[in-house]
Amino acid sequence: MNSAAARPSVLFVCVHNAGRSQMGAAFLTHLAGDRIEVRSAGSAPADAVNPAVVEAMAELGIDISAETPKILTTEAVQSSDVVITMGCGDTCPVFPGKRYLDWQLDDPAGQGVDAVRPIRDEIERRVRGLLAELGVPAASA
């Protein structure tokens, strides 16, 4: 089996792909490097990533300022091993054989960086837990 096929794929989904899913994808990319394929998308993507989210991630040395919200596609779900939903409810397509995790998290939309920090920290905690479940050691960052 080639190494690309062995690499798990994780998709983070929220409504706007401007906050929670962007933070989840950024933490997973930061901690797993190229050992996991990471995607994020939104059922109704915003025009830009939430500036308070960009600032909160920058405080940890993770730059997501160049990221843009992406539309959720059926193909993205079908090609992912794990789909993590963050408040998109019934708009997330469900396919048999996929592992779904629903992370109930406050929506950082319209919040300042002080309100975003605890959401960011909880997402990091859950991403580290996911890495442990997938058997992928977190990079020492």
Annotated active-site positions, please?
A: 14, 88, 92
> Is 124:107 a contact under the CB 8 Å cutoff?
no
Alpha helix locations (H) across the chain? 3-6, 20-32, 51-58, 74-78, 113-134
Provide the token pair at 96: 């048999």
Distance, CA of 47 to CA of 123 (rounded, Å): 22
